[in-house]
Every structure is written in C-alpha cells, then in structure tokens.
Chain A
C-alpha cells in the first residue's frame, strides 16, 4: 500500500481483502464441515435431512465402524490395519528421502564437479515426471531386486521419486548459506561429513520441516504407487479408503464413508497443525549472516 492513499480508500481496500479471504475460507472449509457433520449423523437423518444441517445428536457409530468393522472387500476390519500400513512405509520413506535430499543438496550446492549443473538440471526434470510414467520400469526394477509387494519396495519407490524434490529444496537453501561458513569449518579441521552433521544440518531445520511436510503430504496421500506396488495386507490407507467406499452391500453408508475419509486425512492435518508454526518460522528465519 502506498502512503499517498487516503485513509478512507485504504480501509475500503482492506475490507475488500478480508471479504475475499473469508470467501476463500468458506469455500475450503465447507466440504470439511459437510464431511464432519455427515459422519456424525445416522443414515436416516442423512436421507431425511439437508446436506448442510447440523446432526441432531453426536453419534460416533459411523466412526467406530469406519475404524474397526467396515468392509473393505472380503474382510470387514475397517481402516485401522491400513492406517498402520501407511505409517509403516511413510515414516521411513520421509526420513530417508529427506536425509538423502539434504546430502545430495549439500553436494550439489558446494561441490562444483564437472557436469554438476547438468545433473542438477536433470534432477529438476525428475520433478516433472508423472507417476504413471515410472510405473512399469519401477515394477520391473522392484522385481529384479526381489522387493515386489514389500513395504521396503514401496519405501524405495517413494524415496526415489521424492529425491528430486527433496534435493531441490535443500540445494536451493544451501546456495544461500554463506560459503565462508564451510570454509571456516574446513580450516577448523572438520571433515566433509562433520561439516554436514555439525554445521549444515543444524541450520537446515526450517528446510527439513518444509521437506517433511511436503514429503508427508505426497507419500501419505499417494494412491497410485500404493495400489500398484503393494497388495492385500500391505496396502496403504488411501487404497483402504477406496475399497471401503466401493464395497457396496446394499445401502450406501455415507456417514461411514465420510468418517473413513476424515480418518485417512487426519494425519496430514495433524502434521500441518503441529509443524505449521515451524513452517512459517522456517520461511522467515533464513538469515544466517544477521
């Protein structure tokens, strides 16, 4: 805002901005509201009532069913098994891809070897490759490695696919770190990995947070890789949700579907709420030199 604008127009402009933001908020929150309220209604209430009306009483039966007894194909054990599956491959995949991204980003930012720029360019290209393109080659590779249909295999897929992004995040942060910091550590006698572990990694916390949030969202919400590279017992929650919603035994239980969808989305939401503060702090506290 320029200082020359009259206070009156300034206020009008500000209210306009607020109105737009409010509208955007409503637009994004309305589906969540519908999901939550529907998940708390009974089937009768859903059939009789309005989509936007509040539930008459808090009824958690649909949640219990989605969690423990809803059918996802032949077995009827709800989503709890799938949730555990997702956690089992998401956590290692996030940590491996983030750590590897930090190391490769560090090397690409500080080690100007022949062809390093070409390599970085190719890596950027990796960010634009759609999931579908890598499906077949990846399946063959996992087969060769004897990792088809294993949790470790799925972790590998997500690490490989995520590496392009995580490297990019870290590399772009490290090029802003003053080179003198690394030189000082070299003169102080620190080795490559000592510099990385003692100097570089501790100042990367903001970038680490951003990368973890990004990777968590990507991996947790992934459906395609999960369906293709795992089967039956190992399938992720996104596959479980799909199975649950598509298994029809007569009546369509919207309340259970909604509860299951919220359960599947809850961890992502939680990560944003817990780490969001650090996310914003990380965006602003990049200044190392001061």
Chain B
C-alpha cells in the first residue's frame, strides 16, 4: 500500500456536497499536486487529509494506516500554510521546535533537529528572530522548517507560494523541488497555479466542483486531457478550441479549417476513431506551440498543414511571440519564433502540427480522440 490512499472520499456541509467521491493513490516519495480553480474542493480535501475537518464518508489511509478517526497530531503529517501561520510571539527557533516539544522530545534532541533543519534551509542567522522581523521568503522557509523538523510520513502544502511576489515564487518553487529530491518525502501540494502544478508534480489531480477530473503525470495531463476543462486549465497560454466538422478526404479523417476565405484540410491522427463522428460538429484542441512558423516538419509530414492568414494581435514574450489569428471564426493563439512574427494586419504563413491534437464532443466536453 502507498503513502497516501484516498478512497471514495465525500464531504458535505448540510445539503451542499463539497467533495463528490474522490479516489487518489500515491506511492511513498511522490509529489502529488491538487490543482483546480477556486471552490473546486482542493483545500477541503487537504483539510480532510490533515484531519482538520471530518469526512462525511470514504476512507483515508496514510502510510497504510486508516486515519479517519485520528486527530491531526496522530496522523504523522506536517503542514505548510498559505499564511505561513508562524507563532508570532515565538522566535524562529521556538517555532521550529514547538511540534517536537509538544511531542515531548528531549531538549538536546530538539536543539540538534533545529540546527539540522536550519542548515538545510540556510536560516541559521534567523533563529533568534521573531516572525515579524522576517521577509516573506524567510517566513516561507521557517514554515517549511517547522514541517521538516518533525520528519513526518506526509507533508501537506496549502498554496504555500501564493503570498510571494512573482520572482520569489519561482525561486521558492525550485527550492521546494530541490528539497523534495533531497529528502525524498511524500508531499501533497495544493495550488491553483497550473505552472506550479506542472513543474513540481510527479502526479497531478485536476479537480473541478468537488470532482476529480483527471489524475496522472504532468505530461499525461498536458498531452492527453480527458475533457475540455482539463485541456483549458493546464497550459499557458491555454489550448485553442476550434469548432469544426469531421470530414473525410480519400482515406484520411480530419477537420476543415477556414480563415480569410481560404479552406484547408487538417488530417488528424487516430482518425479511424473519428469515422463514427463523420459529419458531426466537434471541438478541435490544439496547443499554441503546435501552430507555429512553418518548418520542415510541416512540409514532409502527412499530419501537418500550412495555412495563410492575417495577424490580429501580437504578444511578444521574449523567447516566443504569441500571434493571434482567426480560424473558423475563433481567436487562435499561435506560438512562433520572434523573427517570423508579423505586424498586426499583415499576412502570415503558419504550420499546424496535428500530432498531439485532441478532439472533444461539444456538448459533453469529453474527449473523443
């Protein structure tokens, strides 16, 4: 059995269902991300794992042990909070040692642990300061130190980086990842930031309105989203959704794209599965990086096409330039190399690679191909 096992967990407040049957299993040492928009129930799920709230039905196992009826202190967990929740009247040293003190760890051992943790997080010079005398990033470190000191089976992080400014957030993100690699601990990490989710997670659980939409590795979630919600939520800029109709051209199945009066046929991989949908309206999902300046691949490949259109808006990001064009009456974001970008109003040639494209049912929003 794994480090954390969540089985058909439900949570209701009165008649309102907050969580509608969640199933997640992770192995020891894995980094699990719970991601989703506000109100999807991800923080509630974390509270249930921590034991800060009781579950309505289902089972939660930590390290192979059923913890449904255990209080937070008996679950062998540590938690890092969004507001850090450092004890304001205690020094950094006392903050880190508090959990050990409550567990009646002898003074000498506590001191040794504080020293070790301070060394790992490089906060030795701060040990005698009060939380109010620390910067945001330092508080974040102390909060992590408090969690590490206890050496628990499971670490819980509740949006720990959302109070930091953008630059520091990226730095701390790297540090958390490094820490995870060094300590090899099991982590459950809640965030609404899909970039954090992609960069940190071994496994990602995408949630929406109390339901688990998809559970898998970051690459699976990115390449094979199960529905339009997951596809649109993960990735920045988000996946393009192009309304089109399934068509057949000789032996190939694909869709027709129209831009500025020109029509193009885009062959799709796995088109056989589209056979039954022939003539039906579908939504084609294409990542921005799959619509780019034409390269060699677009000439040779069978599953690529070139089209000529007009630039509507230009958004340079430095490394790439995002070009907005209109296809099938919808604004589409394409990612091109800056030197191929054209000014708004000018004509541009784009290559579409449909090798990683996905097709959704417009009414159920579930994936077809």
Contacts and interface: CB of A to CB of B under 8 A. Distances in A.
A181 interface: yes
A176 B320 CA distance: 46
A269 B72 CA distance: 48
Interface string A255-290: 000000000000000000000000000000000111
Contacts of B146: 184, 188
A187 B73 contact: yes
B77 interface: yes
A8 interface: no
Interface in B58-85: 71-73, 77-79, 81-83, 85
Interface string B98-114: 11001100000000000
Interface string B130-141: 011000000000
A153 B65 CA distance: 54
B102 A178 contact: no
A184 B88 contact: no
B87 interface: yes
Interface in B203-250: none
A290 B89 CA distance: 13
A190 B102 contact: yes
Given A187-B77, A187-B78, A290-B131, A180 B102 contact: no
B99 A188 contact: yes
B89 A202 contact: yes
Contact of A187 (B79, B83, B87, B90): B79
B43 to A, nearest CB: 11
A125 to B, nearest CB: 28
A203 B83 CA distance: 16
A110 B128 CA distance: 30
Nearest to B149: A188
A47 to B, nearest CB: 59
B304 interface: no
A290 B129 CA distance: 15
A185 B81 CA distance: 12
B322 interface: no
A186 interface: yes
Interface in A180-215: 180-181, 183-190, 194, 198-199, 202-203
Q: Which of B72, B85, B88 has the most CB of A within 10 A?
A: B85
A188 B50 contact: no
A198 B88 CA distance: 11
Contacts of A181: 85, 87-88
A186 B73 contact: yes
Q: Which of B77, B98, B131 has the most CB of A within 10 A?
A: B98
A167 B31 CA distance: 44
A190 to B, nearest CB: 5
A289 B90 CA distance: 14
B168 interface: no
A187 B89 contact: no
Contact of B81 (A184, A198, A202, A288): A184
Nearest to A188: B99
Q: Which of A189, A203, A289 has the most CB of B within 10 A?
A: A189
A189 B102 contact: yes
A189 B98 CA distance: 9
B52 interface: yes
Nearest to A181: B85
Interface in A18-32: none
B81 A183 contact: yes
Contact of B50 (A178, A187, A203): A187
B73 A188 contact: yes
Contacts of A288: 88
B89 A203 contact: yes
B190 to A, nearest CB: 13
Interface in A157-188: 178, 180-181, 183-188
A184 B131 contact: no
B83 A185 contact: no
Contacts of B82: 180
A178 B83 CA distance: 8
Contacts of A198: 87, 98
A203 B132 CA distance: 13
B76 to A, nearest CB: 10
Interface in B150-166: 150
A186 B52 contact: yes
B283 to A, nearest CB: 41
14 contacts: A181-B87, A184-B79, A184-B85, A186-B71, A186-B72, A187-B52, A187-B73, A188-B99, A188-B146, A190-B73, A198-B87, A202-B90, A203-B88, A289-B83
Given A188-B73, A198-B87, A290-B132, 10 more contacts: A183-B50, A184-B87, A185-B98, A187-B52, A187-B77, A187-B78, A188-B98, A188-B99, A202-B89, A203-B89
Q: Nearest 10 A-B pairs (CB), nearest first?
A: A189-B73, A188-B99, A189-B102, A202-B89, A180-B85, A184-B85, A180-B81, A187-B72, A186-B72, A181-B85
